[in-house]
Amino acid sequence: MLRGVKNIVRGWMDEQDPGPLIHAFLYTLSVFYGLAVKLRLFLYGSGVLKTKKLPCKVVSVGNITVGGSGKTPMTMHLAELFRKAGLRVVILSRGYKRAGSGFAVVSDGEKIHLGPYEAGDEPYLMATRLKGVPVIVGKDRVKSGAHAVRNFSPHVVVLDDGFQHIRLERDFNILLVDSKLAFGNSFLLPRGILREPVSAAARADLVMFKGQGPGTEKTVEAFLSGFDKPVKSFNYMPAGCIDIKDDTVKDALFIRGKRVLAVSGIAEPASFTGTLEEAGAVVEKTLVYPDHHSYTPEDVDEIIKQANEGAVELVVTTEKDAVKLRAYSRKFSGITVFALSIEVKAEGLEALFGEKLGILPHAGCG
């Protein structure tokens, strides 16, 4: 029931008409929300609220909408890019819906200190994927950043979902936009999906459109008509299939032609389904859970039931969901469950960072 209500509300936030009374109520709330956003920006812009600067380069990845636009995959992509260039990198994440408060070190780059529930599914995923890159969680990015500087001496700090966290100054601000969802109905929360007015994009140093391709040109053109910003596109590429029982890895081509049950608890499940289909999988059934869902034994029983009734060959989930479903791997006896690993494909970022930031090895914190 709760999932159905959330779907209805999300429909209102996108393009569906909720009717005049509900529209008036939600619109009124969005006006007050917008005033609060503008007041906060004014207080920081006027210097009443102070910003803090770290003694190293800070690159932020974020968006101005709720839901997924590729923030975490892009954060991992950038961290790996900097690491391969010989730079010391630390990721700062809020750790949304994690069990705990304050800041905590998920990984010091060598050892993982927290599990997926204590760290949050996305920070834990980043910690497992990125060797040699510390990951710190906490709502206060200034405090987390200060800890990172004291303990890890990074050349670059990457903020995951940091566009609205303006208290911490950044050297480069990346705004991600899902070219299919764009800005929904262009209203602020809760009438629409915007965290901030579209005009907030003026703070970005680079705008990146996820999934830009045929049919998305109008979205890009409409956005660019009001802003003079560098624009690039990026896409997801299947990188492999990971068995959640023993972490064995198969080529992404393994799922081509396979009948699969797609299981996801992410902001945009259609994006995951689309990636599976692009990889050649035959998606027979889908099971969709709320974003950052904490799986229960009952959920696992339902997944097994749906897989058996659907006569599918594989259950395929996202890497983010897999970090929690691994705890139930023994229950999946007789059923093969893979996590689809994805990578970001984006071109020209190295040259852009070299030009705009002058990021070179040993050019950050002393």
Contact 176, 70 (CB under 8 A): yes
Distance CA 161, CA 314 (A): 32
Write down the CATH number for the domain with range 57-229: 3.40.50.300
Digits of tens for pLDDT over the chain (366 positions)?
Answer: 555 545 555 665 666 677 888 889 999 999 999 999 999 999 999 999 999 999 999 999 999 998 788 999 999 999 999 999 999 999 999 998 898 888 999 999 999 999 999 999 999 999 999 999 999 999 999 999 999 999 999 999 999 999 999 999 999 999 999 888 888 888 999 988 999 998 899 999 999 999 865 556 666 666 667 777 788 889 999 999 999 999 999 999 999 999 999 999 998 898 899 999 999 999 999 999 999 999 999 999 999 999 999 889 999 999 999 999 999 999 998 899 999 999 999 988 988 888 888 875 444 454
Threshold 0.85, pTM exceeds: yes
H-helix or E-strand spanning residue 92: strand 89-93
Domain 57-229 identical in fold to domain 236-344:
yes
- Residue 362: the pLDDT is 44
Distance CA 325, CA 308 (A): 18
What residues does each domain of the chain span?
57-229, 236-344
Write down the CATH number for the domain with range 236-344: 3.40.50
Angle subtended at Cα 136 by Cα 130 and Cα 137, rounded to the nearest 5 degrees? 120
The rounded radius of gyration (Å) of the Cα atoms in the chain is 21
Distance CA 130, CA 73 (A): 11
